[in-house]
Structure formats: C-alpha cells, structure tokens
Structure 1
Amino acid sequence: MKDIKDINKATVKNKTVPTTTGGGVKKVIYTLSTIQRIGLRNSAKALTSHNACKACGLGMGGQRGGMTNELDEFPSVCNKSIQAQSTDIQPAIPNALFNKHPLLDFQELSGQEIEHLGRLGTPIYKAKDSQHYCEVSWQEALDRIAKAMRKTPAQRSFFYSSGRSSNEAGFVLQLLARMYGTNNINNCSYYCHQATGVALTNTIGSGTATVSLEDLNGCDVLFLIGANPASNHPRFIHKLKALRERGGKVIVINPAKEPGLVRFAVPKSAKSLLFGGTEIASLYIQPSIGSDIALFKGIAKAIIEMEAITEDFIHEHTKGYDNFLTNINATEWQEIVECSGISREQIGDIAKIYAESSNTIFAWGMGITHHTHGVENVEYISNLALLRGMVGRPGAGLLPLRGHSNVQGIGTIGVKPVLPQDVFDGIEKNFNITLPSEKGMDTLACLEAAYDNSIDFALLMGGNLYAASPDQQWTKKAMDNINFKVFLTTTLNQGHVNGMDNSEALVLPVTARDEEWQATTQESMFNYVRLSDGGIKRLDHVRPESVILTHIAEQVLPDSQLDFSAFRTHNNIREAIASTIPGMEKLAEIGTSKEEFHISGRLVHDYNFNTQDGQASFITHSILRDEREKPLPYTLTTVRSEGQFNTIVYEQKDSYRDTDDRWSILMNPATIEKLGITENSCINVRSAHGVMNDVKVFPFDLPNSNIMAYFPEANILVGRDHDPRSLTPAFKSVNVDIEVVERQPSLSTS
C-alpha cells in the first residue's frame, strides 16, 4: 500500500538512561520544519488568527489574538500548537483511495500514517456487507442517518464528543440526544479527569480548578503530581521556570524521572537556551506506581508531626478533620515507606518545603486519575491542601491539568449522562420541554452494552474512541457490534477503520475550529472562556458540527418542540447556554461584546466553599489494597510521548525519552540487567487482557518492577478495571509479566 504509507546519556549500572534536557534548540528546529512543511503563509494565518489553540487545556489565542494568553503574554505558543495545525492544513484525501483500498489496507496503517493521509473532504459511507468506503453526497448521508435513528429505540443508542468540539456544537449534541430520548451522552473526560470532578465536588463543592493562570504568578511552591507537562503542556513549563527564578520550589511526584521536568530549555528564553536549560524540579520524588495514597498520607503525617497545620482554617472552614487525624495517627511509618518506596527522610523533605510555603498550588494529571482509586487520590490531594489552608485565597489552590482544549467546556454545557439538577430544570423551563429521566450510561458502560449487542446506533463527534479505550480487542468487537455508526471528524483515524467489518458507518467531514462558519467558544482548564472567530476556508465540502447536528435533528425529530433550525445561528445557542448553565451568563453577549471571561463561581479566592454548609471536607482513606498486592511481578503505566497529543501521533520517536519506536517498553536499568538482556532486546509483555509481542526494550529511570509503554498501543494490555466512582479505566496501573524473547548476556560490571 505504497500510496498510503541525537541525545546525551549517562551510564547507570552498565546501562544508559536519557539525560536529555527538555525543549531547547531541537524543539525550535522541529517547529520550524513543521511550519516549512505546511507552508509559512498557511501556518502564520492559522497561528495569528483570533482562534483558541486546538491543543491542550492551558489555552491561548481567542480575541487577544493567536499566541497570546489571557495575561497578554506573548508569544504563548508551543510545538503542540504547531502540531495541531499541521493535520488541519492538509489537502483532501483523494476519493479514489477509498475505491482502490479495502478496510484491511487502512487497518495496516499506524495511527500516524492514517492521520497524515490528508483531510477528509467529502462524506464517505461503508455498507454492512462491504469492505470499502465510498463517497456519498451530504443529502444521502443525512438521509441514511435519519433512517437509522428513526428505526432505533433511543435507549439502544449513545452519543459521544471529544474535547476539541465547541461549546455550541456540544450543547446541540446533548439536546439532540435527549430530545431523541436518551441520556447516554458522554465526553472524553470519563477517560481522563472524571475522577477529579467527582473528588473535588466531594471535598470543596466544585469540580474544576480553583485557580486562574494569574495565580501561578503568586505561588511560592507548586506540587506537580502524576503529570508530564514538558511533553503534554509545554507552556506550563514557562510558569514553572518563572517560579524557580523568583526563588520558589517545584516538587515533582512521578514514578518516571522525565528529563523535561528535571531541566527544560525554554525556547523563548535566550538565557535558558544558551545555558543548557533551566532547572525545573527542586525535589523529584519517584514513588512506586499506584502508591499515591501512601505517599500523601506520609506527607500529611509529617506536616502534622511538625505542627505545621493551619488550625484556625481547619476549625473554622472544614469538617472531618478529627477522623482524618485519627486515621493518620493510626498509620505506621513503616507501612507508608514500604508501600510508597519513599523513605521517611524524603517525605520529611517534602513536608519541610510545604510547611515553609505561604502559597502552594497542587497540580496533577492522569497519573493520579487513571487508577481504580483515582477519586481517592484526588480527595487526598485536596486533604493536603486543606491541612495548610491552601484553598480559598489568591496564589494557592488546586489545578487539574486537563488535556483537550475544550474538554472542560464540553462537560460544562451538558455533554454527560447526568445533568446537575439546576441545569436539567433550566433546560426544561427555558425550552418548555420534558427531558428523559432514565439514568444514562458512562462511556465504558456504553461500550459494554455494545459488546452485549444492546446498542444499535452511535454518533461520535470527534475523538478516537476505539484507540482511546482499554482492552483493545474487546473494544474492537464492541464497536463492530454497533449496527450503524456516525463519525464527525476532520481527519481519518484508526477508529474509522477498525471495528467495522460487519457494521454500517458514515464518516462526515467537519470544519476545524479556525474554519467554522461562525464564531465558537471554548473553556480552558482555568475556567476561562474564549471566543474563536473561525472564518478560514481550506476545503469546499466540509461543514460545521452544529450545522450537521441541526439538520439531523430536523429530519429525525420533525415534530420536536425545539426549533433546531434556530441553532444554526450560534448566537442563539449561546443565549440558550447562558440562560440554562449557571456561571455562563456572559456567554449570551460574547459574540458582540468580544469580552472573554472566567466562569463565575469557579475560582476559589475566599473561604466560602460551594457546599451546602460552606465548608470543605477532609475525606479519610486507608492505604488501598491494590497498593499492596500485585498478582503479577511488574506494574505497567501507559504514557504519551513528546511527539503525540492524546491518540494523535505526530512522530514515532520520543526525543525526550530517547526511544525510536513506539512499540517499546521502558524499564529500570537494574531490571534490564536482572532479566539478562540489553537495550534494544525484544520481550513479550503479557497481562490478563492481552499481549504485546516483540517489543523493544529501552532503559529509563523508574522504580524497580515498574515499566512504561506508549498509549494507545499498550491499550491491548489494559483491562476494563475502573474506578467505581468515576468509572475511569485504570490505564496507569496494569499488572503484567515479561517473557524474554531475545536473551543476551549481561554486561560485565568490572
């Protein structure tokens, strides 16, 4: 299918591990080469337009202009922004390719290869008994969708959105699904920060960040836990660099010693580039995978023993502390140390830095949420903040590092199976309609229903649910069991060609954010809402998601009390959101005022918490079972590379970790030596759910018996074990065993 398809090191125990500095000249060169590939004129037009960045949830752009954030800092851009543009600025895939090649040919492509075939330029259709996609007209596509939906009972359907879609499209999607008759409505947060939302709602009454971007300029200590922003949120590193330069401290807690979190050469800082980077981590702590609660309990115990708690705050503004203290006192240091793999002295070092801090921010990523105890992990981070009154004032608070650029907004406007009661009531009252009251299914539950032949129709707006889901072979069968699937996308991905053998599918081409026909809005991880102008034209036959959804609604629900045609005007959608979603009132006028804003009631800069009694809660947890008992000898975590964004892969190599192959395993040099193999040897990695055969071994600084593999390739090993409260799969804690395929003699230690 031909028409489709240098780093410093230090020796450790006779093996080598990367000592790379993050960022630097190589990232500047990479960015320039990407710009050159997509064209200077195209990239400049995209990057300087008044549209929100399409990459991570940190946010920039909008009405302040491209490469500018809400603090008017310029240039606020990174290679992720360039990478996101690179796939949008592609010519359309020739339709002859679909006539020539069956699904099997496309299935042989890597994620990177299929994303880079080009933009989808016209609707394509695959019949149930065919192994080819073919071009169809927009009218035929809409007619087929309407016919499939009309014959499908609503409870045998589900709807899904990625975090790159707009607030406007998301609001229409959830209204379409609910007026159709189902609450089976999900977004990608069930696979990332749902645990955060559940936990923070339990502890402080609000499920999002309590701080603004400006608050990062006022903290003197930042905990960075279970996250690698050097790869995934590069512009966040600028804030950590600034913190270090003003004398502050960064405590990194991560099983893997990520080079970009040790030192990072910030591209827009000449000094940082010239002197080999800026030191980021003041203290780097590497607990065993899954031992978070044990480590957090140790920090809390040390703070209490140092008498460094903020007693007045605890007594006046929290509840549950007495039970929390009793549990801490009953937990022995030996148990904490044995479980976490961190010495009492190291934990004391963490506590000393925290005890001396005036303003601390706790930031975390999916290394915290992707466990069967993800909610407990986040609740315990909140406990640590409450111990010293670090929630409720400027420059201090809680910050989940979210991935997609609008994943938080998609949740805010109701793309979820259970609406908050005030939102539910507001929609019914505002539109004079009755919404379905049956409990909706979460993302994994929808796939489980599909696997059991209980789902006949699915509409997926963006994303790559196939690749993002655990238990890959099981997911493939579940997707194929859905009789009719509709995908809205800018480019093809593996989810459009796998799980398709015996089912019917339509893939519809949509406008990218900067191509929208009307302005759209997005919400950052800091609860900041931006307005994106759209307006760039690249392809002739793509349509906005909101236009597609409203046409589907009109055909499927011709007698609906809702006039969906009115929602083809985005101002009307924003007025509806403003009248039904608390805190979004300013959205009604943003199209004319151009005034971007923080959602009201989200930032917590005083001690009045959004709970029934206005108090925050300590929540007590014991050290958990799966932190102690491992049925197989190794624990694997899945990770993203520097050259990818979520399931989208831009580069096969990972320049920060010094790997040249994504079909690989990273492990401690001592573990490599114990196995009697060397770097680049091949092994098989097996879990209870699948096997990765002939994967290449690379050394990396990890705790003994902990290993890493790349997401989504390693999802073949990940099971459907999930947090019972957030329903998020445990992508970051998978028990595995290793079989040596290519045994090599150990190197001499002499």
Structure 2
Amino acid sequence: MILAALYMGDQKKRNISVTGNIEFSDLKITEPSDYAAGVPGIKAALEHVSKESGLFRSLKTLSQMNQKDGFDCPGCAWPDPEKPSKLGEYCENGAKAIAEETTFERVDREFFKKFSVEEISKWTDYQIGKSGRITEPFILRPGSVHYEPVTWSDAFQVIAENLHSLNSPDEAIFYTSGRSSNEAAFLYGLFSRAFGTNNMPDCSNMCHESSGVALSETLGIGKGSVVLEDFYSAEVVMILGQNPGTNHPRMLTALQKCKENGGKIITVNPLMESGLNRFKNPQQVNGILGTGTHLTDVFLQVKINQDVSLLKLIMKRLVTLEEKGEKVFDHEFIKEKTNGHQSLLDDLKRYDEDKLLELSGVDSAQIDEAVALLAKKSKIIICWAMGLTQHKNGVENIKECVNLLLLKGSLGKEGAGTCPVRGHSNVQGDRSVGIMHYVSKSLNKSIKEAFNFDPPEEEGYDTVKGIKAMYEGKAKVFMALGGNLVSAASDTEYTARAFQNCDLTVSVSTKLNRTHLTAGKTALILPTLGRSEMDRERFVTVENSMGKVHQSQGRLEPASEHLMSEPEIVANIASTYFDTETTVDWKALGEDYNLLREKMSEVLTGYQNYSKKSEGSGFYLPNNVREADFSKLPDGRAQFSVCKLPEHFLEKDEFILMTVRSHDQFNTTIYGMNDRYRGIHGERRVIFMNSKDMENLRLKAEQVVDLTSNYSNKERRAEKFKIIPYNIPPGNLCAYFPETNVLVPNNLYADKSNTPVSKSLTVKIDSKNYI
C-alpha cells in the first residue's frame, strides 16, 4: 500500500519558520497620496505585467478579463458593468493578479531539488509568492524536507488511503478558498457530504461571516441587496470600514458615477484612504491630465471599532430632527415592513450624546453634516468590509447599519440597500452552491433526491474550530481547494502547529505559499489551472459581490501540460476514494461541466437552465430584500436590533491595533513591497501611529519596536517593526497582515459568526530590545 510506504523511515521534525525573514529592507517614506489610480496606477500596472509575463502578452490577456466572452478577474468580486469598457475592465491590482498568474517563473522538480521546505520557510511571503507557477503534483513524505514529483494517480491514491484510515469522517476537513469556481465548489461540497462530514470551513468564515449572520437575522438573506446600477442613482453612499482604492479599485468608477449624478458620499474609517479622497479615472482625459473626481463629501474619522457609537449618535440626532417636525424617517415602511422599531428608539434614549461623541472620536460638526445629508435623502446605500466584520461585536456592527437603513426605508428600492463588499472573486458563489459548515435541511433534501445518498445532519467545523481540531489531534486530514490558510488565519504559530499535527495536508494551488511549508506529516500540492488559462473548450461560472452568476473562460495556454482543472481534481479524488461504492458518477461530473450544471440546477434554488443563463452577462440569483419581501422572518417583517456598545478596557500603555492590506497586496498574496497610497516603499514591517502617542511614549519616527498582545495570559509577540507617524486617531495603531497575524488570539472571535478579531487587537509597544 502507498500509505504504508509513506510512513517508513525517519520521522524527524522539520525545522520550519512560520513567519519567514523579519530583517528590514530599504524603507523609503514619502507623503501619502491624495488620490488613487491615474498615471501612477497605469505605470505600476505596466511595470508588474512587463516584469512577470511580458508586456504584449499581458495586455492581450488583460483585454479579455472581465469581458462577457472572457474570464473573471481572480482578484476581487466587484461586478462588471452591463457594457464593459473596450479599453479594459480591470484595475491596477487586477493587472497585478494576472501578472502573478501568468508569470514565466516556475516551481518545478528542479526548484524543489534545490530548495528544501526548511530553507523556503525562511523566505518572506513576498519571496515565496514570486517563486512561480507549480508545474506538476508534488509530495512531501514523512521526515523529508524536499517535495518530490508524484503522479496524479498516486496522489489520488494517497488521499484515498488516508481518508479510509480515519476512525470517523469528521477527522477530515475540507477547506474552500474564494478563488474556486461554482462548479468546483459544488462538487467539492458534494464529495464532503458523500464522505460523511459537514467539516467545510471556508474563507468567508474569516471575513464576511459576520455580515451573513447579521443580514440573515435582520433581512432574511446573508447577502447584500444592491446591484451595480443602484450606485448610479443613489443619493447617499455610506462607506464604513472599507478601502476600495486598494481592495476593490473598480468600485471607484461606480462611486464616480454616483457623484456625477448628484450623489453624496460619507466615509467612515480610522484612516482617510487615498481612493476615497480623490479618483483619477485612467480611462478618462480628466483622470490623466486633470484633477480627477473628489469622492468623499463628509469624512468621519472614527476610532477603531467605535462604529456602533457613531451610528447610535447619528440616529439619535436624526430622531431629534424628527421630533422637531422634520420628515426624516419612512414611517409607512417601518409600520408595514418592520418589527422592533420602538425597542430601538427606547434603547437610543439610554445613551448620552456627549459620551457617544467621545467614544467615536469624531468632530461633532462633521457628524451634523452627515446627519443633514441622511435626513433629507431616502436612496441610501451602506457599504462595508472587514473594518466592520472582524471584531468581537462584528455582527452587531452590521445590524446597526441595517437599523439606519430600516429607519430610512432604504431597502427594496432603486438606489438603496446593503452592500457588503466581498474580498475574493467567488467567495459568495462558494456559499451559494453549498459550501457551509452548518446544516441546510432543504439542501440536504435536494441532494438526496438528485444523488440518492443521505448527507450528514451534524454541524461541522468552521475555520476557527477546524484549526482547533487539527491542533488537538481530533482532525487528521486537511484538504484546501485554494487559499493560504496558515498565513490568513489567526495566531500564525498555533495555526502552523495545527497543520503540522495532521497526518496529511493537501493543497489545490496555482502557486507556492506558506501553507505548503508548514505541512502535515505527508503533504500534497496538486497544481490547477488559473482563471486566465484554457480548460479545453469548457467554461466555469462565478458569482460576483452582488449576486450575479456569469461564465468565465480562460484563453491562455496553461502554464504546464500537467495541470488539471479543479472539478477534475475533486472528481478524481472522489472516484478514487469511493471506487464502485457510490451513487454518483464522479468522473462524468468532473469531465462534463454542462452535465454538472444540470445536476446543480436540480439541487440549487435559482439555477434553472443554468448553463444557458450563465452566458453573456449572466443572471441574478433570487434576493428577497430587493423585493422588500421579508416573509421568511418572524411576523414576515424585517427586524430592528438593539445593539450594545463595544467594550475595550485599555491600560494606559495599551493600544487598539487593526491589521490592513498594503496597496501591493491581495489577501495574503504580496505583489510588491510598496504601499504607494500611504507613502511606504520597500518595507512592510511598519506600524502607523498617531504623532501625539509617539510623543507621550518618547518614540521617534522609524524607531524599531516589537508589538505584543496578551490574551488568556498568553503573550504573543510580533518582532521588529518601524514606527511611522500617521494621521490615525489617538490610541489606535495600524499594521499589515499577515505579518501581525501572530498577535491575533486563536480563541477570541466575533459573537455568533466566529470571525477572528483581526481589526481590534489590544496590544502594547515594546522598545526595550532595540535600545
């Protein structure tokens, strides 16, 4: 047996670094940019694509991205307009994502002969990512420090034998990243259920799970309610805890159209990000030669995780205007469509305005400006991202946003609604097609009818619980359909140890990342096609951030002849595991995507005539909020919520830290070492700090310090960071992830959603090691 052979020989522990090199590079500081995109954005995009995969080849590829007959960007999930620009429907960071995917660099058998996992683990995440595309399946055997080539059939057999060796299906975990297609994710979830477990954590557990919980409980669907065109007619767009200029740059075009049509933008964030200040559209003359478009009308520089304090104060002042005789709230909507209105008003009376103002840290006159806009308008969109979700009270942060929209009747109408902006290109699609750790009785029933087996009825592990199970030895096999979970998750050292405790870890990947290095006793890397690459004549589908499903079909020759598509990989694993003891024709489903979509349409609501409807611009999935239909909720009404204020008990020498991306980054993928918009070049180990806080602690610019956190009497330390004076509220700090993920406790997460608290960490600054 292959499995028996794998466990023969030396079982020595690998000497793996979980954080990589922490030495400084050459830091250069400039003034932060006051605008996004423009000529510098074009220049940066061209530099990246030229270096990675050649200018003309890359431009041809980019011309096909986010087009109706092309492929979907592997980056963010922002929707495409009905008529994509002929000049190119992509942004600077989308170009960087394609440069990474189409790079000429290769991780092949010679690479792994030359470099051990011990050596590679000491590289930075940036260096690891730049190694190139993985060319064939590789295996890391017990006791070995070098990956070796393995045939596809042997790789599938290793997985099957490890799964058969488990005492229970719940000892296996099947993780999903947002880069997978709907077809691959559905088949993956089907295999997990046929195997016998709901252990299906996914990347949404770590980002928008708080949004899903809050929106499901208040509005009846765990998704946003707006479509792209709503931005064009919105009267007010509120943006909270989000940085579109870096994380969703194509959103800036929608905001520009909103402003051109007379809309106003209120920005709520601890930092004024360049993209929300001014946008120089590179497809317009004004964006190249002119000043661009000023976006934010009112900037509310809230303290970290004091959004509820601010929103309560805004609503209290709106109530005051209403009591003075102004028509502020939509009473007809409130009466006919909602529950809990009086409870909300009673709760607001409990709070002192001066105290809320102090907690929020925002200037009172600026709040009045925002209140004046909101009082007179009803077409209001509220957008948010991780700045609201990754807190202990992440769910209540979202519910307070919903409260404001319910008061204004800003749901179920054009130009109004909720907009959680998803980070990864198909993370919402994964959930729609069945990737979830909890049990859906209706989905189970449909699966049984379509495939003739009984899906498990016990709730599985989410990401937090899955890592804990691996750490404690309760889960022994981990498989990831994409992603870099070791770098993405909380408490890097704890997470790495959890992976190393596994008997087998499997990664379906396009490029090398740190998860491949902090591997189980045996580890497999299964290389798959990128979004831009041809999958014969087949196409897959994805769902954007606004619930629209559409096709994606790559056009480039694959990076290697040994790559396999994600649906085929999953189908081969399932077929090898079950052999003839199955009611599902796995090989056929992995081979024929139209057949797979036919079966998906039998199981999933809203996917009828799936293949045909996916063509062109695609189709929207059902969304009750767009119809102002809350019939599935108690009393058939949307629900107001009574939310508590966040609790942060800080000592005099403690700060609240939020982790963020740089502009040269997407999730854990580091494109480069610059954060042009914030004025940081050549370095990532920096802390943004208020200058008055620096004076109080007698710290100097670029002084080297450590950051420490202490939760449950366990100190965690992030070493060697340089302090950068920055416009950030007093008592608040900001630094990049994944470098500061070592500080995030594995056992502290949002109520109900279990989302890690990566945006509100209590930390201290320790400078004694560098005096």
| TM bracket, shorter-chain basis | over 0.9
Cα–Cα, structure 1 residues 602 and 317, in superposed 2: closer, same or farther, change >3 Å? closer
Task: Tell me if structure 1 keeps the 8 A contact 2:378–2:408.
Answer: no
Task: Tell me if structure 1 keeps the 8 A contact 2:492–2:741.
Answer: yes
How far apart are the structure 2 equivalents of 1:729 and 1:334?
Answer: 31
Aligned to 2:217: 202
Cα–Cα, structure 1 residues 48 and 262, in superposed 2: closer, same or farther, change >3 Å? closer
Aligned-residue offset at 1:594:
4.8
Task: Tell me if structure 2 keeps the 8 A contact 1:17–1:699.
Answer: no
Task: Tell me if structure 2 keeps the 8 A contact 1:327–1:622.
Answer: no
User: Is residue 562 of structure 2 the alignment partner of residue 541 of structure 1?
Assistant: yes
How far apart are the structure 2 equivalents of 1:271 and 1:595?
Answer: 29
Percent of residue pairs identical: 31
Aligned-residue offset at 1:259:
2.4
How far apart are the structure 2 equivalents of 1:630 and 1:328?
Answer: 29
How far apart are the structure 1 equivalents of 2:339 and 2:307?
Answer: 23
Aligned-residue offset at 1:608:
5.1
Deviations 1:482-537 (A, max 9, x none): 11011000000111112x3x611000110112323321000000111110123532
User: Is residue 536 of structure 2 the alignment partner of residue 521 of structure 1?
Assistant: no
Cα–Cα, structure 1 residues 629 and 610, in superposed 2: closer, same or farther, change >3 Å? farther
Q: 5 Å matches for 1:303-702?
A: 303-307=318-322, 308-498=328-518, 500=519, 503-515=521-533, 516-517=535-536, 518-538=538-558, 539-558=560-579, 559-568=581-590, 569-590=592-613, 594=616, 596-601=618-623, 604-606=626-628, 610-611=632-633, 613-626=635-648, 633-660=654-681, 661-688=683-710, 689-702=715-728
Deviates more, 1:394-403 or 1:424-433: 424-433
Aligned-residue offset at 1:264:
2.4
Deviates more, 1:680-689 or 1:727-736: 680-689
1:126 to 113, 123, 140: 140
Q: Tell me which amino acid in the other structure corresponds to 2:640.
A: F
How far apart are the structure 2 equivalents of 1:395 and 1:513?
Answer: 32
1:99 to 97, 100, 113: 113
Task: Tell me if structure 1 keeps the 8 A contact 2:201–2:466.
Answer: no
Aligned to 2:17: none
Q: Tell me which amino acid in the other structure corresponds to 1:460.
A: A
Aligned to 1:211: 226
Deviates more, 1:411-420 or 1:35-44: 35-44
How far apart are the structure 1 equivalents of 2:569 and 2:30?
Answer: 53
SS in 2 for 1:186: coil
SS in 1 for 2:636: coil
2:82 to 42, 54, 70: 70
Q: What are the ranges of 5 or more consecutive residues in structure 2 without an aligned counterpart?
A: 1-19, 22-28, 65-69, 323-327
Provide TM-score, normalisation by structure 1: 0.93
Task: Tell me if structure 2 keeps the 8 A contact 1:391–1:607.
Answer: no
Aligned-residue offset at 1:742:
8.6
Q: Tell me which amino acid in the other structure corresponds to 1:557.
A: F
Cα–Cα, structure 1 residues 564 and 475, in superposed 2: closer, same or farther, change >3 Å? same
Aligned-residue offset at 1:17:
5.8
SS in 2 for 1:696: strand
Deviations 1:192-232 (A, max 9, x none): 10110110111110111101001111101100000000111
User: Is residue 315 of structure 2 the alignment partner of residue 300 of structure 1?
Assistant: yes
Aligned to 2:325: none
Aligned-residue offset at 1:629:
5.2
Aligned to 2:730: 704
Deviations 1:249-276 (A, max 9, x none): 1100001122222122221222133233
How far apart are the structure 2 equivalents of 1:235 and 1:610?
Answer: 34
Aligned-residue offset at 1:588:
4.4
How far apart are the structure 2 equivalents of 1:241 and 1:495?
Answer: 39
Aligned-residue offset at 1:298:
0.7
Matched positions, count: 720
Cα–Cα, structure 1 residues 473 and 743, in superposed 2: closer, same or farther, change >3 Å? closer
Task: Tell me if structure 2 keeps the 8 A contact 1:289–1:635.
Answer: yes
SS in 1 for 2:381: strand
Task: Tell me if structure 2 keeps the 8 A contact 1:24–1:265.
Answer: yes
Aligned-residue offset at 1:116:
1.3
How far apart are the structure 1 equivalents of 2:288 and 2:56?
Answer: 27
User: Is residue 45 of structure 2 the alignment partner of residue 31 of structure 1?
Assistant: yes
Aligned to 2:7: none
Task: Tell me if structure 2 keeps the 8 A contact 1:676–1:743.
Answer: no
Task: Tell me if structure 1 keeps the 8 A contact 2:49–2:98.
Answer: no
Aligned-residue offset at 1:369:
0.2
How far apart are the structure 2 equivalents of 1:581 and 1:18?
Answer: 47
How far apart are the structure 2 equivalents of 1:669 and 1:24?
Answer: 30
How far apart are the structure 1 equivalents of 2:34 and 2:769?
Answer: 28
Aligned-residue offset at 1:461:
0.8
Aligned-residue offset at 1:741:
4.9
Aligned-residue offset at 1:277:
3.3
Q: What are the ranges of 5 or more consecutive residues in structure 1 without an aligned counterpart?
A: 6-14, 61-68, 745-750
Task: Tell me if structure 2 keeps the 8 A contact 1:226–1:368.
Answer: yes
How far apart are the structure 1 equivalents of 2:620 and 2:577?
Answer: 36
Cα–Cα, structure 1 residues 662 and 313, in superposed 2: closer, same or farther, change >3 Å? same
SS in 2 for 1:165: coil
Q: Tell me which amino acid in the other structure corresponds to 1:563.
A: D
Deviations 1:594-628 (A, max 9, x none): 561111235614455653543111011122323x6
Deviations 1:261-310 (A, max 9, x none): 21222212221332333211111111111111111111111111111111
SS in 2 for 1:104: helix
How far apart are the structure 2 equivalents of 1:272 and 1:555?
Answer: 55
Aligned to 2:71: 51
SS in 1 for 2:684: coil
Aligned to 2:5: none
Q: Tell me which amino acid in the other structure corresponds to 2:563.
A: V
Task: Tell me if structure 2 keeps the 8 A contact 1:51–1:532.
Answer: yes
How far apart are the structure 2 equivalents of 1:303 and 1:196?
Answer: 25
How far apart are the structure 1 equivalents of 2:99 and 2:670?
Answer: 12
Task: Tell me if structure 2 keeps the 8 A contact 1:125–1:505.
Answer: yes
How far apart are the structure 1 equivalents of 2:544 and 2:632?
Answer: 20
How far apart are the structure 1 equivalents of 2:651 and 2:62?
Answer: 48
Q: Tell me which amino acid in the other structure corresponds to 2:158.
A: R
How far apart are the structure 2 equivalents of 1:583 and 1:603?
Answer: 15
Provide TM-score, normalisation by structure 2: 0.90
Deviations 1:708-736 (A, max 9, x none): 01011110111121012011000000000
How far apart are the structure 2 equivalents of 1:70 and 1:587?
Answer: 19
